[in-house]
Chains A and B, each alone.
Chain A
């Protein structure tokens, strides 16, 4: 029998805890906070993070469950990133949720379920596992987006996300069904036989692959499928926005990596021009859209679209630098984005989701800790040393240069310059404007400050000490279930 349950130990633990939290939620008395559930959730994520970290050093690839699940270094790293994102989000959750009156144990259950979905995507060796993981990841998020039931924008965000998500998962499935018909299997290894030509087989392959990538591009928030991002990020509870912005991006890019690197090398020249176009469109859509925003959540949403564009640049170079860069940037992006949203939460009040730039005026001087941390995250998003964002961006654009795509690298740098236009507005509002009339009182929540401090330290740490994570990420791709043809072709 081919059941090695050890390979999915993390997933099993996460799902059992999710069930436990959801049941706890049903028996939770009204007007109480599930502090116990929170503590268990935090401890569990720390323990599982340690487990993932230790297993990320293991060489080799293990498969089980009739070839549905694969365990390799790439998956371990992506899982680790997700756990970090989840842990940081958990730290800022209790204060925010209590403030909004939605502190239920179910919240933790849904977050854990979403993590389970992500983990199955990272361990997918088959399009079936990938699809199921994506759905398990998405469905709790739909609910979490609409969690603030009495706040008009939140159900609307959940509804929009749900309808578009359901539509695009149908599109993706249609693509998978074409690939199945053409290749006769849904295993990722089967993709190596993919050939695009003008005969029936080739057309089915091309059509199927295109639809599959469209579905993933939607999840990753790549143009032209990015229109949902600002609305959903604005309406969702801010902790969930932070979770989506980081974890879902990691998951979607993880899936893109798995699929793109399973393709035969001769497809890549066909695919690259499209990817090039999508990357350029995404960067411009994000950065130009952000220029006009006054709501900080929408601004960060557009900036996350732009960051997805930068990530795609690294992915498209298909070389070692790009691979390290993508992983490094995903990690850096997690820290700076969660940190920025944690600061947004700290500056907010009950029901006051519209933290506009006007509301932030002078807050940097009144609350120096939060102000300086926010400045650090913004600098990292712009890509200024010595922050993690700079290192990540450097690797991404260097990868594009060494892959012979100088124009793409130049467009990326140009976009970073455009992004100064709105990032600096945040800094100016924080530090150089007179204080707004209605003074915002930051909450007493201790956890959010822990999250902010942790993110700030990590952004600086990964900006200064680069070599050991880069070395670790280097092994991630070579020690993973990716096509030997693609790997051998790399410089």
Chain B
């Protein structure tokens, strides 16, 4: 049986993958997916701790995070669609109307 440390390790790696993805990738949908990976890392960590502590508080938190992640995905997709309709691109490098 693996202890919480191994779950923390996996969660950290997942979180880093997501964070690096947000910073490095240029496609808006991929960035959205990277944020979801970060949230899933958080979920994993919450579940591991909830299991270790033997309580349900962490699991409740995970439910909330899942719903928030879904709402975020909906808003993000809507924005990407809106942007694609007006500019025909979903590359972050082209989002540069405001500078200075």
Contact = CB atoms under 8 A, between A and B. Distances in A.
A and B touch in the complex (CB under 8 A): yes
Interface of A: 128, 131-132, 135, 139, 142-143, 146, 149-150, 152-153, 155-160, 162-163, 166-167, 169-171, 173-174, 176-178, 180-181, 184-186, 230-231, 234-235, 292-293, 298
A292 B75 contact: no
Contacts of B32: 163, 166
Interface in B38-64: 38-39, 41-42, 45-46, 48-49, 52-53, 55, 57-58, 60-61, 64
B98 A235 contact: yes
Given A146-B79, A146-B82, A157-B98, 4 more contacts: A128-B61, A128-B64, A170-B39, A174-B41
A158 B79 contact: yes
A155 B52 CA distance: 44
A174 B68 contact: no
Contact of B46 (A156, A170, A171, A177): A177
A102 to B, nearest CB: 14
Across the A-B interface, give the 10 residue pairs with the lowest CB-CB distance, nearest first: A170-B38, A181-B49, A177-B45, A173-B42, A231-B98, A166-B35, A159-B79, A135-B68, A177-B46, A153-B97
Nearest to A174: B42
Nearest to B71: A139
Nearest to B8: A181
8 contacts: A132-B68, A135-B72, A156-B98, A162-B76, A174-B15, A177-B46, A180-B61, A181-B53
B61 A160 contact: no
Nearest to B64: A132
Nearest to B78: A143
Contacts of B22: 163, 167
Contact of A156 (B19, B49, B97): B97
B21 to A, nearest CB: 10
B83 interface: yes
B75 A142 contact: yes
Given A181-B49, A184-B55, A293-B100, A143 B75 contact: yes
Q: Which of B46, B52, B58, B75 has the most CB of A within 10 A?
A: B75
Interface residues of B, number: 43
Contact of B49 (A158, A177, A230, A298): A177
Main DSSP-derived SS at the A contact region: helix
Contacts of B86: 149-150, 152, 155
B31 A163 contact: yes
A240 to B, nearest CB: 15
Contacts of B4: 181
B83 A180 contact: no
B65 interface: yes
Contacts of A298: 100
A159 B95 contact: yes
A80 B87 CA distance: 41
Nearest to B31: A163
Contacts of A128: 57, 60-61, 64
Given A174-B42, A185-B57, A186-B61, A166 B72 contact: yes
A152 B42 contact: no
B95 A156 contact: yes
A293 B49 CA distance: 48
B71 A135 contact: yes
Contacts of B79: 142, 146, 155, 158-159, 162
Contacts of B98: 153, 156-157, 230-231, 234-235
A131 B35 contact: no
A155 B83 contact: yes
Nearest to A150: B86
A186 B58 CA distance: 8
**Residue in A149, A155, A186 whose Cβ sees the most chain B Cβ within 10 Å:** A155
B39 to A, nearest CB: 5
A139 B58 contact: no
A177 B15 CA distance: 12
A230 B61 CA distance: 33
Contact of A139 (B75, B83, B100): B75
Contacts of A152: 86, 97
Nearest to B58: A180
A152 B64 CA distance: 34
A143 B72 CA distance: 11
Contact of A170 (B18, B60, B80): B18
